[in-house]
Amino acid sequence: MPRVLITGASRGLGLEHARQYLAKGWKVTATARRPESSPGLAELAANDEGLLRLLPMDVTDHARVEAVAEELRGESLDVVLNNAGSYGPKSAFQGMHYQSLESMDYDLWREMMEINLIGAFKVAVCFKPHLEAAVNPLLVNMSSDLGSIGDNSIGQAYSYRSSKAALNMLTKGMSIEWKEITVIAMAPGWCRTDLGGPEAPVDPVESVRMQQALFERLESSRSGEFIDRFGESVNW
Ligand SMILES: NC(=O)c1ccc[n+]([C@@H]2O[C@H](COP(=O)([O-])OP(=O)(O)OC[C@H]3O[C@@H](n4cnc5c(N)ncnc54)[C@H](OP(=O)(O)O)[C@@H]3O)[C@@H](O)[C@H]2O)c1
C-alpha cells in the first residue's frame, strides 16, 4: 500500500490530494496547522477505513517538523507533498497591494518566506530518510507559475513570486544531491481555492487528478524539473 505525506492538508489542494489518494487506497498522513478545525479533514476522518492519519504540523515550527519525522521513523513514504503555502491573508487578485513596489508589507513577505521556502526546505530534509526507504520515491515541491522568472511578463506579487522562485532553486539543488529521490517543482495551474480565489479558471479537483496521474507516470529522469499539471516543462 503506497504512502504519502501531505503538508497544508486542511483545505485547498492539500485536502484534495488527501481525498483522492485515500480513494485510491493509499495510506495518507495529512498534516495541518490545526487538523481539528478543518471541516474537510473531519469529513475524511469520518469516512476513513484505516488509511488516514491526521497530525498537527506547522511547517514553520521546526521542532514540530522534527518531532513528526521522528514519530514516523522506520516508515517509508512514496510521495511527500510539500504543499503548505501562503499568498498572505488574501487571494490572488485581492492580495496584490501588500506585495507591490508601492506598498510592500515586509512582515508578510518574511512570513511567506518562512512557509513557502524555509518550511518546505525543513520538511524535505526531515522526511528524506522516509523517502529513501521507498522504492521509487517522489518529493513534490508545490511551486507556481508565478515562480517562473522566464514567464514573468507583468511584475507584481513580489513576495509570493520570490518565495516560489527560490523554492524552484531548492528543487534543483535537491535533485542534484539526492540521486535516489525524484524531486520536482509543480505548477498546479491557477486553481479555485482560498489562495487562487473565485476568478481562477482551474477546478482544483481536476488539477489534483491531473497532478496525481502525472506523478504516477513520471520518469525519474525528470528529477530537478519545473513541471505543470500536463507534464510540460515550465520556464525557470
Ligand atoms: N490555488 C492556486 O491557484 C495555486 C497556484 C499555484 C500554486 N499554488 C500552491 O499550491 C499550494 C496549495 O495552495 P492552495 O491553493 O490549496 O491554498 P489554500 O487553499 O490557501 O491552502 C493553503 C494551505 O496551506 C496551509 N498552510 C499555510 N501556512 C502553513 C503553515 N505554516 N504550516 C502548515 N500549513 C500551512 C493552510 O493551512 P491553514 O488552514 O492552517 O491556514 C492550507 O491548508 C500552495 O503552496 C500554493 O502556493 C496554488
Q: Note the pLDDT of residue 139.
A: 99
Q: Note the pLDDT of residue 45.
A: 98
- For residue 122, the CA-to-ligand 1 centroid distance in Å is 16
Q: Which atom of ligand 1 is nearest to the CA of 91?
A: 20
> Does residue 233 fall inside a structural domain?
no
> Does residue 42 fall inside a structural domain?
yes
Count of structural domains within the chain: 1
**Which residues span the domain enclosing 117?**
3-228
pTM for the full model? 0.98
> Does residue 235 fall inside a structural domain?
no
- For residue 6, the CA-to-ligand 1 centroid distance in Å is 11
Cα distance between residue 28 and residue 194, in whole Å: 23
Helices 120-132 and 62-71: angle between axes, nearest 10 degrees: 10
Give the count of beta carbons closer than 10 Å to the beta carbon of residue 230: 9
> Does residue 236 fall inside a structural domain?
no
Cα distance between residue 150 and residue 154, in whole Å: 11
Q: Which atom of ligand 1 is nearest to the CA of 13?
A: 16
Classify residue 234 by its DSSP letter: P
Q: Note the pLDDT of residue 73.
A: 98
Helices 120-132 and 158-177: angle between axes, nearest 10 degrees: 30
- Candidate from 111, 193, 207, 228 with most ligand 1 atoms within 8 A of CB, to mutate: 193
For the chain, which residues score pLDDT lower than 50? Answer: none
- Candidate from 7, 83, 139, 211 with most ligand 1 atoms within 8 A of CB, to mutate: 83
Which CATH number characterizes residue 128's domain?
A: 3.40.50.720
- For residue 85, the CA-to-ligand 1 centroid distance in Å is 4
- For residue 11, the CA-to-ligand 1 centroid distance in Å is 8
Q: Under a CB-based contact definition with an 8 Å cutoff, are residues 29 and 6 in contact?
A: yes
- Integer CA distances (angstroms), 109 to 34, 68, 188, 224, in order: 22, 27, 22, 26
> Strand pairing of 79-82 and 52-56?
unpaired
pLDDT tens, position by position, 110-137: 999 999 999 999 999 999 999 999 999 9
Cα distance between residue 163 and residue 144, in whole Å: 10
Q: Note the pLDDT of residue 93.
A: 86
> Does residue 205 fall inside a structural domain?
yes
Classify residue 197 by its DSSP letter: -
Q: Which atom of ligand 1 is nearest to the CA of 115?
A: 31
Q: Note the pLDDT of residue 11.
A: 98
